[in-house]
């Protein structure tokens, strides 16, 4: 499933294994993209 989103800051650091406690997540606010992001969150 293709979404238009990016993780920045601490989220990107967390993926690399850094001990962080917050996530920064930016996404394109379109109807289609929001539907896809909701599907991912519901999994």
Q: What is the C-alpha separation between 41 and 13, in angstroms, rounded?
A: 21
The pLDDT assigned to 31 comes to 93
Question: Rounded to two decimals, what is the model's pTM?
Answer: 0.50
For residue 5, name the pLDDT band (cuts at 50, 70, 90): confident
Contact indicator for 5, 36 with CB cutoff of 8 Å: no
What is the tens place of the pLDDT at every residue in 11-38? Answer: 677 778 888 776 667 788 899 989 988 8
| DSSP secondary structure of the chain | ----EEEETHHHHHHTT------EEEE---HHHHHHHHHHHH-
Top pLDDT among 28 and 5 is at: 28
Positive/negative CA dihedral, 36, 6, 10, 19: positive
The pLDDT assigned to 23 comes to 64
Q: What is the C-alpha separation between 16 and 35, in angstroms, rounded?
A: 28
């Amino acid at each position: 499933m293709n979404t238009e989103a990016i993780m920045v800051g601490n989220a990107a650091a967390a993926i690399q294994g850094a001990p962080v406690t917050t996530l920064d997540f930016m996404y394109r606010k379109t109807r289609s993209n929001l539907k896809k992001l909701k599907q991912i969150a519901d999994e």
